[in-house]
Structure 1
Amino acid sequence: MNKKSKKQIKLNNEFRKVPSVERILSNNQIVKITDDLSRDYVTKVIQKELVKLKSESLEKNLPLNKNFEDIIELIKEQLKLETNFGPQNVINATGVILHTNLGRSTLSKEAINSMVDIANNYSSLEYNLSKGERGSRQKHLSSLLCNITGAESALTVNNNAAALILTLSTLAEGKEVIISRSESVEIGGGFRIPDILSSTGASLIEIGTTNRTYLKDYEKAINKNTAAIISVHASNFEITGFTHKPTLNEICSLAESYKIPLIHDIGSGCLIDTEPFGLVHEPTPEESIKNGASLVLFSADKLLGGPQAGIIIGNLNLLNKISKNPMARAVRIDKFTMSSLQTTLTHYIKNEVTKKIPIWIMISQKQSSILNRVKKWQSTCKIKTEIHETQSTIGGGSLPGQLIPSFCLSIPETKNLTADKISRKLRKNQIPIISRIENRKVLLDARTVFPKQDKIILSALNSII
């Protein structure tokens, strides 16, 4: 008998140790699970896990190292994982206010309630109540956005990348788009402005250098095949030192003189002045329109504080063309996003931003208030903790480098509990708590933790022991 045959016999013997699907289904722990989940679904998960076990054994040429109890636990864990559909609620104790991995901005109670109301009822989504006929879903937001920003028209889609692709595929397919080399950037998730531009059928013409671009560079690049000039606000990085760039107003004036649209992608969508909060100035859509931008693109789920959406505002004729692009239907905003965004925008016209919109409540929190909360955490905590000054960040591709003084509860690691283990335990809490680690200490920044979550934080900390 050759070595290959002996190896196969050995593996077959190992595979005989794998329990049958019926035996697993008969286990009391699995029987309890089938009271909640269909037997057919549980059977498929069991089959998949058993195939995976055998495949791993074959690939690694190793014996099965799991007994029956191990396999039951493995299947229970997999069932738990697979039935935890969609994103899970977590507590953000990182101090990053617009944490992209944690869903960016949270919504106001009113914005959430508006979605629930729309979900529970029919709505006038695409129905004109005054005329009794079909209407446009864009009308609900267009007027509000125009009044806030001073634009002629507005169009809302499902995210800002879609807004950029829709705009360029409409206005620049087969033509050239001019952009400063310093603004030809990666916007997160591996997506790069050059790649987005090329996907629309437009040719990218980069001008200037990484650190210095002049108005004359734009003018030299303009020709009869130029469809637009695009300016991208550096919302997630900084270039400092020996730099130069023309003002937006100067670029807009140049574009206007050549009758070329100027597209300004400002990213964060901030609608209020950030300086009173101790932050550097962040360009607003209203300022871009006043400076002469033909179209302004921005996100709704960053500094605007609303749901995920991309907003295009500006020239009426250009937006009419964009709205007629067949792709506009593919990236159109849904009724739930529309409702919550409309409610969020209403907070701005009612001057209640820092009272209603969660991210602005966080940004505007007083340090004394944060410190008092951290002291309460510490006073009822059974494990050793320290209180430290720390720095919260805006995050989410907004206001790069801007830090806000804050306070955090610090948990130093011990011989038995490393910082990684403490952090892992917090993540395994019923409502996972996401922390950050610095200098072998786990930090919980109270700025990004909602007061209603304080009890959960304390319960989790006391269960670490």
Structure 2
Amino acid sequence: MEHPLAALPSVHEILRDPAFRAACGDLADPFRTRLVRRAVDSHRQALLEDPEERHEPGPLFSSILDQCIREAEALQTPSPRRVVNGTGVLIHTNLGRAPLGALVEALNESDLGGYTDLEWDPESQERGNRDLRLQRQLQLLTGAEAALVVNNCAAALMLALNTLASNKQVLVSRSELVEIGGSFRVPAIMEASGCRLREVGTTNKTNLRDFEEHVVPGSSVLLKVHQSNFVQRGFVERVSIDEMVALGRRLGVPVIEDNGSGLIANQYAALLQDEPRVLDSLDRGVDIVCCSADKLFGSIQAGILLGTAEHIEAMRRNPLYRVLRLDKVRLALLDRTLKLYLAGDAGSLPLWRLFHASLDELEARIAQLRLPKSGTRWLSVRSTPLQGRLGGGSNPEAVFESLGLELRHRELSAEALKRRFATRPVPIVGYVQQGCFYLDLRTCFPEDLPELQRALDELGGTGDALE
């Protein structure tokens, strides 16, 4: 009987194939070889694990070649790559949360291509501090005594707890032990920070007495976590920020709030009335407020810490801060965002421009598209009212008026249509509802319209049959 590995092609056969060579682009020869060798080795292992299964040389060669071509092309594709967001979700975690738009121009303005004064003080000619400029901006913006910026909000909470509550008990309501994106849970973050979690109250009702019964002056910290991605209604009770701050002041216990969404400005529509404001928490006397910069703050991924100078300085001296601090690229982008806030121009951030776009503006975007007519593969493509959402763990029940396209195809189901849009060179992400595929134009930028037009034309054309 022929040995099961006899059908396996050699590495050199794949390397010499014209299709593979074309897919490799600028990939250097040593890495082409390594890519192919890994693919051949994986197939060799599969053959050894199932020696009874017969393989013909031709199909096996094609299978390995296709795998190598896909991997080579993936290596040549920029990452992360552009995606057209037609979901109507403004802060879409899977699509990068808040869009940056013109903020990236800050990379050129800051001359990041060369050397920078990241940690150099021209006055003293000595080493400086990379985040003091951001601290001054955040102090002016929020009125906080001090500020610090780290990698994300989970990192901000971990740094705060590790600094202020290591080996101490942290009291938090059971109803606020939330799970955030990617299956990360607040209790796991607390455990990693070195504190001792003390759950108080019940799932639906927590009152001040629950905290008072367990708090120990000098060895406790009070924590409040925003229920950002779910809502409790009915027979529920929560302890307010004012009550927690009063208890903390009375017993000399720090109060930390995980605000989450990072809403700074107070003028952003009635839709956000239920969303906690960072400034309100600071005004009420919370010692440390943690929030995200890439949600309702409208900027890059970062975690912002605001609060008393004593606590912030302690965090800055914590060795963990060095692990969690921002690099020069994100510092430049956040600096640009803060300049817009301080100029009173936060509404020009891409997130808020999309949020405030009127229905007339959305109609104008649709009017720029040549919607398919009869005689194409499209059964119907029509403008329709839709409902947008904030996303990103902000006001999970809140929806607002939007406008978009309802698409029905003669040959493709709604799910198949969704996949065809999503697997384009520039993915277009929509959603399926009640057997139709929808694209919400609120979350599409004007520069996305040509890409939408190409997709409509190609899927409605008279070329090769669609599978």
Q: TM-score, normalised by structure 1?
A: 0.92
Partner of 1:369: 361
Partner of 2:239: 246
Counterparts in 2 of 1:240 and 1:94: CA distance versus 1, 3 Å: same
RMSD of aligned Cα (Å): 1.9
| Partner AA of 1:217 in structure 2 | D
2:407 aligns with 411
Match of 1:89 in 2: 82
Could you tell me how far apart the structure 1 residues matched to 2:62 and 2:445 are?
40
DSSP 3-state at the match of 1:221: coil
Partner of 1:359 in structure 2? 351
Maintained 8 Å contact 2:217/2:253 = no
Contact kept, 8 Å, 1:146 with 1:152, in 2: the verdict is yes
SS of 1:388's equivalent in the other structure is: strand
Say yes or no: does 1:323 pair with 2:288. Answer: no
Equivalent residue, structure 2, for 1:63: 54
Say if 2:304 is the partner of 1:304: no
After superposition, the Cα gap between the structure-2 partners of 1:142 and 1:251, relative to the gap in structure 1 and judged at 3 Å, is same
User: 1:122: which partner in 2?
Assistant: 115
Q: Say which SS state the counterpart of residue 432 (structure 2) adopts.
A: strand
Q: Which moved more, 1:255-264 or 1:367-376?
A: 367-376
CA contact (8 A) 1:108 1:344 kept: no
Moved more, 16-25 or 329-338: 16-25
Give the corresponding residue for 1:446. 441
1:36 aligned partner, one-letter code: D
The C-alpha deviation readout for 1:136-165, integer Å capped at 9, x for no partner, is 112110011111111100011111111111
Counterpart pick for 2:332 among 339, 352, 366: 339
Aligned with 1:174 (options 161, 167, 171): 167
Which of 204, 208, 211 does residue 215 from structure 1 map onto? 208
Structure 2 runs not aligned, ≥5 long: 461-467
- Cα drift, residue 289 of structure 1: 0.8
Structure 1 partner of 2:416: 421
SS in 2 for 1:385: strand
Cα distance between partner residues in 2 of 1:96 and 1:259: 42
Aligned mates of 1:100, 1:387 — CA distance in 2: 26
User: Sequence identity, in percent?
Assistant: 32
Please give the alpha-carbon distance, in whole angstroms, between the structure 2 residues aligned to 1:232 and 1:35: 49
Deviates most, 18-27 or 282-291: 18-27
**Aligned length in residues:** 452
Question: How far has the Cα of 1:378 moved from its partner?
Answer: 5.2
- Aligned ranges for residues 179-328 of structure 1 at < 5 Å? 179-224=172-217, 226-273=219-266, 276=269, 278-328=271-321
Gaps of 5+ in 1: 1-8
CA contact (8 A) 2:24 2:72 kept: no
TM-score (norm 2): 0.92
1:45 alignment partner, SS class:
helix
Shift of 1:290: 0.6
Which residue identity does 1:54 align to in structure 2? R
Cα distance change on mapping 1:34 and 1:221 into 2, 3 Å? closer
* Counterpart in the other structure of 2:389: 393
How far has the Cα of 1:225 moved from its partner?
5.6
Which residue in the other structure is 1:112 paired with?
Answer: 104
1:436 and 1:442 in contact (8 A); partners too = yes
CA offsets 1:378-408 (integer angstroms, 9 cap, x no match)? 5367533122211111111112211111111
* Contact residue 218 and residue 253 of structure 2 kept, 8 A: no
The question of whether the paired residues in 1 share the 8 Å contact of 2:218 and 2:252 is answered with no
What SS does the corresponding residue of 1:460 show, helix, strand or coil? helix
Q: Do 2:298 and 2:350's aligned partners in 1 also have CA atoms closer than 8 Å? A: yes
